[in-house]
Amino acid sequence: MYADTALLNATIGGGILSVIVLITRLHLFSAWISSCRKVISDFRARRYYNPFKRNVSIYVQSKQHIKELSESAELSQQAVFSDLFNFNDTLKHIPRNEPATLRPRLYGRVLHVMSPANFDALYPSLQARLESVFDEFLETPADGHGFKTVVLTSLARRAAIDLMAILFFGLRLPDEPEYRSALYDYPRDSARTMAGLQLTPKFMAPLVRRLASQNGRARKQMIERVEKIVTDRSANWNEEPGIRKLTILDLLIECTQDSPYWTSHTLAESVAGIWFAGSHQPYVQLYFIVIELCRRPEYVAMLRNELDGCVQLSATTIVNLPLLESFMKEAMRISPPDLQSIRRKALKPFTFSNGGPHVPEGSVACVSSWDTLHNPLKYQNPDSFTPDRFRQTEAQEGNKRHLSKSTEVSEDFPVWGFGTRACPGRFHAMFVIKTIVVHLLTKFDFQLADEHAATEFYWETFKIPYATTRIMLRPRDDVG
């Protein structure tokens, strides 16, 4: 009898266990189906990512926590870039904990103060190069209405990189064929490397980097050439002295020549790093600003009226045009180039103050750019594109000396980062973009070749231009 009871209990218990296992499997299968549906839905919406390699970030939003995120030595920006681009071997000379030493102070001095003071002097050279770039792209035949079709991504990239190269290196060095190739290939190779690393296992990172960047060929060429110039400018840099002294490279050399920290190789690697950021982001942002202009012809007319009111166009003039400034800032706000900003990786466990979130070692904390820039408590009708939003703010405050700038760094506008670690080249990026947009507005009528074609997609959190987007340009002098 006892044996029968035990057998019955075992049978019932086994049956219950089987039911639990079945329910668990059904639940896991249901969750897997839901995950598949989400991936399919995201991909249809042109939001692409590696579904097998999802990294969960920890978000902060208060001003105090954002300050801690930006400044804490235990939360590393360098570690994030090492993961994204596999830069551990090429940037190993930079301390992982990124102490606030000579590096940020140098960038602040040169890129925030000294170099922007030279914009007016370099503006004629930038204009001349821009004319040449547009002439080259407009060699194709026009249609019956005088319009010529060009690939916007190619035009934006070429124009932005050519102008940024003048600010960095002057007129002659970027025209040397080998060096010019390196200037273009290095940011492209880095972007390819990042994409490849997101799609492959971690152990394949060295191989991916070698294949995607041709073993770092372009970067090595840049560093070797700049290192020679740092060692002896007069022998290795054939540039007019009047132009050379206006460049970022010359200013960096002047500011570091008496410092034992800044060896020729350290400075050359730093220049390469700044160049990557300075050559990639401006053309991407320029692309999306031109798209917004094409979609809002009524504001094109208003911006032209603002430009017509200028006695003379100069660098100082174009960086202080209220409507143009507001339009560009709103374009970055409504659809930021990255859904996350101020990324930091915890080098050891970190807890934010006042009951803030805990970040385990190896995890990434950041700010949600999208949520911040669409916060209805900070921006009225945040999902509406309002080109004069920030001009209205200026008028309401009634203080012309505090124009709401597209280069603003704050907890409410985290596009450029925050605090002392904010993007040091943002003034150059926006100056280059404005120079090109002003040229486009004053010289051409323009429109999208296909108003219904997709113009963007997302890879992970980054907004990416479509390489096939075309615009139609017609010189305004030809308008009859």
Q: Give the model's pLDDT for residue 469.
A: 95
HSE-CB of 282 using CA atoms within 13 angstroms:
31
CB neighbour class for 4 (10 Å; exposed up to 12, middle 13-18, buried from 19)? exposed
Structure tokens at 407: 């280069």
Question: Cβ of 283: how many Cβ atoms within 10 Å?
Answer: 25
Cβ contacts of residue 397 below 8 Å, gap of 6+? none
Please say whether the dihedral angle defined by the alpha carbons of residues 373, 374, 378 and 379, taken in this order, is positive or negative.
Answer: positive
> CA 45 → CA 31, 316, 458, distances in Å?
21, 41, 9
CB neighbour class for 255 (10 Å; exposed up to 12, middle 13-18, buried from 19)? middle
The whole-model pTM stands at 0.88
Amino acid at 119: F
Amino acid at 295: R
Dist CA 75 CA 347 (whole Å) = 6
Structure tokens at 201: 């296992």
Q: Give the model's pLDDT for residue 479.
A: 43
Structure tokens at 312: 């003379």
Query: What's the order of all strands across the beta sheet hosting 462-465?
Result: 47-48, 456-459, 462-465
Dist CA 480 CA 109 (whole Å) = 49
**Contact indicator for 431, 284 with CB cutoff of 8 Å:** no
**Contact indicator for 458, 158 with CB cutoff of 8 Å:** no
Q: Give the model's pLDDT for residue 32.
A: 63
Residue-level pLDDT, tens digit, the chain, 480 residues: 555 555 445 555 556 666 676 677 666 667 667 767 766 776 666 766 677 766 678 999 999 999 999 989 899 888 887 776 655 544 444 444 444 566 788 998 999 999 999 999 999 999 999 999 999 999 888 888 889 999 999 999 999 999 999 999 999 999 999 999 999 999 888 888 877 777 777 778 788 778 878 888 999 999 999 999 999 998 899 999 999 999 999 999 999 988 888 999 999 999 998 998 888 889 999 999 999 999 999 999 999 999 999 888 999 999 999 999 999 999 999 989 999 999 999 999 999 999 899 999 999 999 999 999 999 999 999 999 999 899 865 555 555 545 689 999 999 999 999 988 888 899 999 999 999 999 999 999 999 999 999 998 888 888 999 999 999 999 987 444
Q: Give the model's pLDDT for residue 480.
A: 40
Q: Give the model's pLDDT for residue 404.
A: 81
CB neighbour class for 46 (10 Å; exposed up to 12, middle 13-18, buried from 19)? middle
